[in-house]
Every structure is written in structure tokens, then in C-alpha cells.
Amino acid sequence: MWRGLGGVVLLTILMTGGRIVNAQDRSPRIRPEGAAVRALIDRGMERSATLRDLNTRLDNSNVVVYIRFARCFTGEPACLLWVSADTDARRLLIKIDKFGRSPDELTALLAHELQHANEVASDSAITELASFQHSFAVRGWKHAGGFETEEAGKISTRVAAELSRR
């Protein structure tokens, strides 16, 4: 089932073409889908040094992260999904459920998932779905909605604090 879902996600990304990747994007690794996601990222980058650091770390990796407002099939408010890998890049998808959440909450969720993307970037052994799942099982813990790591929890708390100070 996971392989099929990854293929559907990749096909969706490829079929929507220019709506996901804009040549004007500030980061070659973070690729928002739509103007609303781009605005959230821009606002977060302006207000959070931690979010800027997560972006810089990703820019120095071979991980590409597509970001969209969508619900996670697990019911979590945000999630990171494996999409694909080839010799040039490992591709991930972040989904954020924006319904009923403030921009600051959405930004903290984004930072949380970008930390997970950086965890993928730091582990060159992650090359497909099984190694993706194994790496998170080793570095964190599994719960009903997927995997979690202590560092991602700390990042979302730190970003929320940075945003509340501004």
C-alpha cells in the first residue's frame, strides 16, 4: 500500500507541473505547492531563526521537500511522507492540515516536519520507504499516526516560542 501511495503522490506532483515548483523560489530544496503555502513559509522564515536554519541545512543536502496544505490520512495535523529517490535527490512530501489553525501553529507544524526532513537528509542510508521507516523507528518511536522523534518535538516548541516573542 505504501508503495502505491508514494507513486500516486509522485504522479500528482509531476502532473501539476509549475504549480509546485517556481523558478523564483528562494530555496532549491523546499518547494511549496501554491501561493498560500509560499506565504506561510516566507512569513515563517522572516520570524524564526530556527526555521531559517532548517532551510539552510536542507539546502546543503540532496533532499527535496514538497509542501502542501492537505489532510494526513492518519489524522495527524501534519505529516512527512516518502515520495521517491534517484541518483540526484530523495523526495519527500509534507502535508499540513490548515483547518482551524493559526498561522503560528501552522508554522510550528511546518518546522516540526522540516526537522524530520533534515533527519532524512542526515541519514544517507534512507533510499526507499523501508529504510525511511526503519530510520525513524530507530531514532524515535512509533505511535498510531506514524513515527516521532524527540528533536522534532523540541523544534516545534522552539519555533512556537520564537513566533510568540514577535
- Buried b or exposed e, range 60-76, using 16+ CB within 10 angstroms: ebbbbbbbbbeebeeeb
Q: Where are the domains of the chain?
A: 2-165
Name the percent of the chain lying above pLDDT 90.
76
Residue 66 · residue 31 · CB < 8 Å? yes
| pLDDT classification of 10: cutoffs 50, 70, 90 | very low
Q: What pLDDT does residue 27 have?
A: 76
Residue 127 · residue 90 · CB < 8 Å? yes
* Digit-coded pLDDT (tens) for 91-114: 999 999 999 999 999 999 999 999
* Digit-coded pLDDT (tens) for 112-152: 999 999 999 999 999 999 999 999 999 988 877 788 899 99
Residue 79 · residue 50 · CB < 8 Å? no
| pLDDT classification of 54: cutoffs 50, 70, 90 | very high
Q: What pLDDT does residue 47 have?
A: 97
